[in-house]
Structure formats: C-alpha cells, structure tokens
A = this chain, B = another copy of it.
Amino acid sequence: MKSDRPVVGRGAKVRAAVHAATLAELVDKGYAAFSVDAVAQRAGVHKTTVYRRWKDRESLIVDAVAEHMAMDIPDPDTGTVEADLRALARSLAHSFTTPAGQAILAAMFTGAAHLPEIAEARRHVFHDRLRRAEPVVTRAVARGELPAGTDPAELLKTLAARIYLDLLITGDPVDEALADKAARIALAAAHAGALGHA
C-alpha cells in the first residue's frame, strides 16, 4: 500500500524517516519482533502519524521494502553471454547477503506473506528485475551466442531459480560459486534449446 500523500515538504521527510526506521527495525529485530511503535519512536514520530499514512503494519513494511527495492539492476554488457549472466547472478546473490537484504527477504517471504499485497509485491519486483535484464539475452541471441528462439524470461528464471532455492530452502551459502553455477546451468540449458519459446 503506497502512501497517497504529497511527496514534498514536511510529508516527504516523515515518509523517508519512517521508511528508514522500518528497514532498520526489520534488520535489528526481525519481522517477528517488529512493532509500529518502535518504528515510530525510532523515526522520531508518533505512532498515530504512521497510521495516518499507512493502513497498517503490513502496508508499512511492504511500502518500505518496495521502495528500497527500486534500486539499480545492473545491465552488464561485457561482450559474452557467459560473463553477462555471471554478473547478473552474482548481483542477485549479493543483494540478499547484506543485512538489509536478509531483513527484506525475511519480511517478504517469511513474515508478511499472508496478505495479497505482499505476494503482488514479490511478483512485481521479480518481473521488474526480469524485464530489465532481458536485453542481456536478446543481445546474445542477436550475436548468435544463443539459439534463435531462446526465451529471455525462461533463461533468466532458470538462473534465478537455482539461487532462490538455496536462499529459501536448502540454506546453503549463497555466494559467487553458487551464482556461477546458476549461470552455467542456465547457459547449458539455453544452448541445448531447452529454453525456447513455448
């Protein structure tokens, strides 16, 4: 739930302060121990002010996280798909290893997941990243590095899937080795033509 208030003047200050406080609290205490009062206090703002701008606790979290996620996705263009994909994979892996990344992960996947807005946000963020990374694949196809008909989205999903698996389920370390492995798998599948348009 986006705050539908003016984004200038005093309002903007409050908004920013609360957002920052929200992420900080998430990082410090985790989703379980997250409380609106604590956020308000940390932001130097009264609880009611938070509730004036955000419907409830979950909305606040979603909004803060979504805002924070609107960050730069790299668009690597090294000249070879392999290097490009590796860069993408490493960037993705890295984005979840910072404290903030961990907190966001927890909030998005293990905390407030029961309400539709969260699911929607998750979907939205993922597709956004996907869309922004597609040029990497289309360029590779144009260069003849990948078979014509390769579906960029499918390739990138394959790449991301392997990383999310360890992140969310196995708990194995999410590092550059994993990223490289994911890139290698996606590339192999693409070369084999397993990622063609339906």
Contact = CB atoms under 8 A, between A and B. Distances in A.
Interface of A: 30-32, 106, 109-115, 119, 122-123, 126-127, 154, 157-158, 160-162, 164-165, 168-171, 181, 184-185, 187-189, 191-195
Number of copies: 4
A158 B162 contact: yes
Given A110-B109, A110-B113, A164 B157 contact: no
16 contacts: A109-B109, A109-B113, A109-B168, A110-B113, A122-B171, A157-B165, A158-B161, A158-B185, A161-B164, A161-B165, A164-B164, A164-B165, A165-B165, A168-B168, A188-B193, A191-B192
B123 A113 contact: no
A115 to B, nearest CB: 7
B171 A157 contact: no
A112 B109 CA distance: 10
A164 B184 CA distance: 19
Nearest to A184: B194
A193 B185 CA distance: 9
B169 A162 contact: no
Given A109-B168, A164-B165, 16 more contacts: A30-B114, A106-B114, A109-B110, A110-B112, A111-B113, A111-B114, A157-B162, A158-B161, A158-B185, A161-B162, A161-B165, A185-B189, A187-B194, A188-B193, A189-B189, A192-B192
